[in-house]
Structure 1
Amino acid sequence: MSERAPAPGGLALVESLLNTVDFASGADALDTAECRARLGLTDDPERLEEARELRESLRATLLAHAGHPPHRAVTPLGDLLARVPLHVTVDPADGSAALAPADPEPLPARIAAAVAEALVAGTWTRLKACESPTCHWAYYDRSPAGRGRWCSMQVCGARAKMRRYRAKEPRQAGQPGQPEQSSRTKET
């Protein structure tokens, strides 16, 4: 939906996984070989179902980052990521350390490492899901206050604001609940 810059670091992978489904049309890019290859997924139906479950748990978490309830019940993200072993790697050149997946093949392992990286960097809660129920697109909130609500102010934000404006508009005369305007003329 959005033309925003991708999320930084490993969060780009998380964002990419989340944005594989289009809620408006129902299209799921995980059904395409190209998308699966881009995400490093095999055609194994069990792995594909695991990726979908992970995607929706991530979406519920990102909706929470933006202050919104999940759109449906899902397995908690912490439960899914607890199944993934990570280990500490240390770069011998500069001594920097990072959490890395014990097995970098499965998508959940790479997602867990990306979340850990984002936690350390302080960027995890900036990855959010659009509040629009027909969108829920993932985006990285680059606003100064970190209070972004929509993937795009020009599309989802504008639609939400227009709906709110129209709900506040006074009703036209003659509609239920409004008094009729008088059409009497002044008598002389």
Structure 2
Amino acid sequence: MSERSPAPGGLALVQALVNTLDVETGADSLDTPGGRAPFGLTAGEVPAAVELRESLRAALLAHAGHPPRRAVTPLADLLAGAPLRVAVDPADGTAVLLPAGPDSLAGRVAAAVAEALVAGTWARLKACEAADCLWAYYDRSPAGRGRWCSMRVCGARAKMRRYRAKGA
């Protein structure tokens, strides 16, 4: 959908992870080596990545004011084991958060979430309210009250459903 654009900074990783599952078709790119490659995952790491993905989706639904679609492990519990460290560039003094332990998807997600909290962008990463979509999107609306990943598709479908329900 043309309105879908990558989230800024490290949130692009979070967005990409959540969007590995096409809820409408059930296709999960984590089921393929090519789909796992961008995240550096092995087939054995997929169950933990799926658990992380669905906990992230629940958090993104909460950002949009919606309850989770199913029970998930709390995101804080999954990220608690991913300690972070601050790395400072001696040349220019810029600082970044990095996983403190071995490189892991949870560590990279924890660093992305922490940086987004500081930047004030975390709450703008949301999940589409359409039950057959649930796509992660970055809400670029001025007021930050976007409800759908695409107004042209998911928003239009929701409005059409409401219109038809009124006429019935």
TM-score range, shorter chain: over 0.9
Matched, 1:9 2:13: no
Normalised to the residue count of structure 2, the TM-score between the two structures is: 0.95
Aligned to 2:33: 33
CA-CA distance at 1:105 after TM superposition: 2.1
Identity among equivalent pairs (%):
73
| 3-state SS of 1:71 partner | coil
User: What amino acid maps onto 1:15 in structure 2?
Assistant: Q
> Rg larger in 1 or in 2?
1
Matched, 1:153 2:164: no
CA-CA distance at 1:103 after TM superposition: 3.2
- Cα distance in 1 for partners of 2:82, 2:118 equals 18
Describe the superposition over 1:1-54 as per-residue Cα deviations: whole angstroms up to 9, x where unpaired. Answer: 5642200000000000000001111111100100111111123x2x21110000
How many residue pairs end up in the alignment?
A: 168
CA-CA distance at 1:166 after TM superposition: 1.3
Query: What stretches of structure 1 of length at least 5 have no aligned partner?
Result: 172-188
Aligned to 2:122: 124
CA contact (8 A) 1:88 1:100 kept: yes
CA-CA distance at 1:104 after TM superposition: 5.4
CA-CA distance at 1:107 after TM superposition: 0.6
- Cα distance in 2 for partners of 1:55, 1:23 equals 13
Matched, 1:133 2:120: no
User: What amino acid maps onto 1:19 in structure 2?
Assistant: N
CA-CA distance at 1:130 after TM superposition: 0.3
CA-CA distance at 1:96 after TM superposition: 2.4
Aligned to 1:179: none
User: What amino acid maps onto 2:5 in structure 1?
Assistant: A
Relative contact order (C-alpha < 8 Å, sep 6+): which is higher?
2
Aligned to 2:97: 99
Aligned to 1:183: none
Moved over 3 A (4+): none
User: What amino acid maps onto 1:71 in structure 2?
Assistant: R
User: What amino acid maps onto 1:18 in structure 2?
Assistant: V
Cα 1:2–1:29 change in 2 (3 A) is: farther
CA contact (8 A) 1:29 1:35 kept: yes
- Cα distance in 1 for partners of 2:3, 2:28 equals 19
| 3-state SS of 2:26 partner | coil
Cα 1:145–1:3 change in 2 (3 A) is: closer
